Amino acid sequence: MAQTSELTLTTRLFLKAYRWRQIDPVPFAPLSKPLAECRVGLVSSAGFVAPGVEPFDEELRGGDSSWRSVPSDADTSSFSDSHRSESFDHTGMERDPELVFPLTRLHELAAEGWIGEVAPRHASCMGSITATGRLVNESAPDMAAQFVEDQVDLVLLVPV
Amino acid sequence: MCNQTVGLVAAELERQGVTTVAIQLLRSIAERVRPPRGLWVPFPHGYPLEAPGEPERQRQVLRAALDLATAPGPGPLLVDYVPTRPG
């Protein structure tokens, strides 16, 4: 189980003082069709990038709120980890990227009939963002625009 | 921070009419940030789908997340994931 007690003292002190951004009001878009007919997309905040794609900037103050579009046929085993946080164990996701970017798992669920199909494009970002203004005002709307353009019904979001 | 980040992205998606489920690793943060639909998983940081190299266990978490997408509103909904273990 993830607990703040496993974090470093510096991180715990930071989190104690940090003012979390509460979603208010909470928007709620009901699913409009059965899961077996839905087009499903992924957002992973693991900071993974595909070969040849610019890595996230680990040094950016407040966190790098940029994002990368990931095609549905991407090979997750080729992804590299550019997440800056040292507050968690990276070994699991470096051994098996599907642990945090389950694109192959999603294709398997589509093959099983649990979902209708996998979206053509997904999104990768680095979740270690303390200054959330640019994320909320620019990156999140841009990510949403991609999924709306692709007529995606449902998006699963995976943090680390 | 990752929990907040995916929650904020989920909120924007829902505002644009796209249904979301955000996996959450820290229940206390999920309660503060309030993503529209959150599936809290009892796994360590870095292990949101439980275990590397375990496709079926990873699919179980995803199936639970997909099921939560069908839950009626209003949000925020925060549901605990209970792993099933082979008999």
pLDDT tens-digit map of A100-141: 999 999 999 999 999 999 999 999 999 888 889 999 999 999
- Contact (CB<8Å) A155/B2: no
Domain that holds residue A143: 34-158
Domain that holds residue B74: 2-80
Is position A5 within any domain?
A: no
Is position B87 within any domain?
A: no
Mark which residues 97-156 of A lie under 8 Å from B by CB: 98-100, 102, 104-106, 108-109, 114-115, 123, 125, 127-130, 132, 135-136, 139-141, 143-145, 147-148, 152-156
Q: What is the pLDDT of residue A151?
A: 98
Is position A26 within any domain?
A: no
Q: Is the pLDDT of residue B87 over 70?
A: no
| Of A87 and B55, more confident | B55
Is position B22 within any domain?
A: yes
| Of A58 and A92, more confident | A92
Q: What is the pLDDT of residue B86?
A: 60
Cα A147 to Cα A76, A118, A138, distances in angstroms:
20, 12, 15
For the entire predicted model, the pTM comes to 0.95
- Contact (CB<8Å) B36/A26: yes
Q: How many domains, in total, are found in chain A?
A: 1
Whole-angstrom distance, CA of residue A107 vs CA of residue A7: 34
Q: How many domains, in total, are found in chain B?
A: 1
Is position A117 within any domain?
A: yes
Q: Compute the half-sphere exposure of residue A7: CA atoms within 13 Å on the CB side of its CA.
A: 17
Is position A104 within any domain?
A: yes
- Contact (CB<8Å) B36/A27: yes
Task: Give the pLDDT band of residue A82 (cuts 50, 70, 90).
Answer: confident
Is position A25 within any domain?
A: no
Is position A1 within any domain?
A: no
